[in-house]
Amino acid sequence: MKFGMKFTDNHTVKILVVDDDPLVLEALGLLVESFGYQCFTAANGLEAIEKLKEDAIDIVVTDVVMPEMGGLQLLAYIKENYPNTDVIVATGYTEKAGYAEVIRSGAIDFIKKPFERDELEAKLNRAERERSMIRKLEKLSLCDSLTGLYNRRSFDIKLAEEVQRAHRQDFQVYLALIDVDNFKGYNDTYGHPAGDRVLSAVGMILNDCTRHNVDFTFRYGGDEFAAILTQTSEEQAVKIMERVLHSFQQAGFSGTTLSIGLVCCRRDETLTWPENAACMIDRVDKALYRAKSEGKNRVMLDVGGC
């Protein structure tokens, strides 16, 4: 890790500088690094596109007039293909592209060449502060405040992403739906704060028993939870959910257990995605119901399909 590199929310800020003048490019790269950012360079728009494919770039600072692909063409490409990457457009005093034009085209800011050090640093710092605020707001909108797990909105987004990714890359993905047995009775007996502790414990257990940076865990609603288990076999998926059952039993919440429905999710291209997703959720919900009806405290695997 480079000393002095700027981090926001544990995120390394990566900036790509694009200019066809090698002296300007070298000087600008050194200047950006002196501000504490990680800097990449490209000599034109086409080279910049290759850099964007190789790394997750946060901010692009691009010249306007360049051979092969100019800055405004590059800006349009980034807005279309990398919507989470921000662009600052730089132009010389004699060039025609003005502030209004580049902002209308999707840039977040505009800077005149030759650069003034303080102005460039201020614009980059402001851009990163705004990006950090957006990340925090997105996190708040996608997470459950009690358990810290992703919420139902996140579930809908991630299920679509992971099932379709599994279809493209030819691997299996499993969906688990988890319900706390006898939760209402536990709440009525011990009170809502005790019930909240049960829900928080389920959240921690799901995170502990699933694979970090591979699986996804959610508070689905009320006392129901969900997990998306990616790149896994049926045997592995069942074992992960059995670990969840065992860990909850060990937690010692008297009178409560977990019931879990589990299904393999496949993209059925004869259906629209909403129809496909509804079918998967219906299947896992029925598997959960069977787990409850057959005695609770168990994993029930559904091997059917949509």
Residue 223 annotated in active site: yes
For residue 28, the surrounding DSSP H or E stretch is helix 22-34
Distances (CA, A) of 201 to 180, 226, 253, 291: 11, 14, 10, 21
User: Counting runs of H as helices and runs of E as strands, what totals does the chain give?
Assistant: 10, 12
Place of tokens 């670990």: 243
Answer whether 49's CB lies under 8 Å from 74's CB: yes
Say whether the peptide bond before residue 114 is cis (omega within 30 degrees of 0). Answer: yes
Options 63, 109, 144, 223, the catalytic residue:
223
Question: What's the length of the chain?
Answer: 306
Query: Strand 59-63's sheet: what is its strand order?
Result: 38-42, 14-18, 59-63, 86-92, 109-113
Active site positions, annotated: 223
